[in-house]
Structure 1
Amino acid sequence: MFIDLVKQRYSVRSYDERPVEKEKLDYIMECVRLAPSAVNFQPWHFYVVTDKEKLQAVKSAYHREWIQNAPCVIVACVDHNVAWHRSADNKDHSDIDIAIAVEHLCLAATEQGLGTCWVCNFDAVLCSEVLSLPENVEPAVLIPIGYTPNTEVPQKKRKGIDEICSYL
């Protein structure tokens, strides 16, 4: 059941150094490719970074020790020139679109026995330089991905359904 997959996904901050198989990364990226986006504009590009030198450069944009063992980091980027903008107020929907795609990525990785973590508190300017991104493309999320030595899923602390939902 889908709820079982959702319950298994959590923010992993400890990784084995063994590499993630290309077939698993391909499967995950196929799940990302199928994610919905506003007006189907798909204003994204994902950089799957496994090359040791490039990986270290990307990791340098986030100053936490735990990311260092991740054998792969996927950089989710948005292209603001491609994103749909709501006509009433010109709201850019790229952040919404990338969030949907990244959660597809995280759930697909969980299904494949891999751990992930959303990282948004990173140096986006440095990351842009490392990847030589054009000005209109923004790195929005770093997603370290890999096998985790911890097999126990921590208990989730979430608000109760009555605190987040109202039936009208």
Structure 2
Amino acid sequence: MNFIELAKKRYSLRNFDVKKVEQEKLDLILQAGQLAPTAVNYQPQRILVIESDEALAKLKDCTIYHFNAPMALLICANKVESWKSTYDGKVHTDIDASIVATHMMLQAAELGLGTTWVGNFDPIAVRNAFNIPSNIEPVCILPIGYPSKDAKPNPNHTKRKNIAQTVLYNYF
């Protein structure tokens, strides 16, 4: 499958099967994150694999958007290791973690797995539940697993603005 086909096929899965994700598939997803570009290649990402029943129960205390997935990846980045722009001092923690998460989401889709990006979680609860140090910034949660037999994309999934509305050339 080519990239555009993969991008069209992927959707935010909110109805997971109970089947566990095989370690070899998880390894490929994690490798996709490892290979993702980061600013100045500093690689500040830190990925917490949440797969035990105990850890998944903790996750449910941090967000209602876990969708009962059999596994989740908590995508974080080290604020100290992240690149800082010399122009405005912006720390690229969230940008690098987002690039890493996107690579992992697309790799999961290629493997027949589904994910959804969860940004709506209690960061203090996540930090406390998983003993996250203060220099590590939780950015998003990716529930991950196989689609249930009745899973389907949201009807809005295929609605896209005309490209002329989102792409400009040379000036705004």
TM-score when normalising by structure 2: 0.92
User: 1:68–1:117: structure 2 CA closer, same or farther, 3 Å change rule?
Assistant: closer
Matched, 1:94 2:93: yes
Hey, what's the Cα distance between the residues in 2 that align with 1:164 and 1:102? Answer: 23
Q: Write the letter of the residue equivalent to 1:79.
A: N
Partner residue, 2:64: 63
Q: Write the letter of the residue equivalent to 1:134.
A: P
Deviation, 1:59, is 2.3
Q: Kindly indicate whether the alpha-carbon contact (under 8 Å) linking 1:59 and 1:68 is maintained by their aligned counterparts in 2.
A: no
Deviation, 1:151, is 5.9
Structure 2 residue matching 1:113: 3-state secondary structure: coil
- Mark the runs of 5 or more structure 1 residues left unpaired by the alignment: none
Count of aligned pairs: 166
Deviations 1:113-164 (A, max 9, x none): 0000000010011111111011111111010000012465554222110010
Hey, what's the Cα distance between the residues in 2 that align with 1:140 and 1:7? Answer: 24
Partner residue, 1:160: 162
Map residues 19-168 of structure 1 onto 2, 5 A cutoff. Answer: 19-64=20-65, 67-149=66-148, 150=150, 152-153=152-153, 155-168=157-170
Deviation, 1:87, is 1.2
Matched, 1:12 2:46: no
Structure 2 residue matching 1:69: 3-state secondary structure: coil
Q: Kindly indicate whether the alpha-carbon contact (under 8 Å) linking 1:48 and 1:75 is maintained by their aligned counterparts in 2.
A: yes
Structure 2 residue matching 1:26: 3-state secondary structure: helix
Indicate the percent of aligned positions where both proteins have the same amino acid. Answer: 40
Deviation, 1:63, is 2.0
Q: Write the letter of the residue equivalent to 2:50.
A: V
Q: Write the letter of the residue equivalent to 1:76.
A: I
Deviation, 1:11, is 0.6
- Mark the runs of 5 or more structure 2 residues left unpaired by the alignment: none
User: 1:143–1:87: structure 2 CA closer, same or farther, 3 Å change rule?
Assistant: same
Q: Write the letter of the residue equivalent to 2:127.
A: S
Hey, what's the Cα distance between the residues in 1 that align with 2:69 and 2:14? Answer: 9
User: 1:88–1:52: structure 2 CA closer, same or farther, 3 Å change rule?
Assistant: same
TM-score when normalising by structure 1: 0.94
Q: Write the letter of the residue equivalent to 2:53.
A: K
Q: Write the letter of the residue equivalent to 1:136.
A: N
Structure 2 residue matching 1:89: 3-state secondary structure: coil
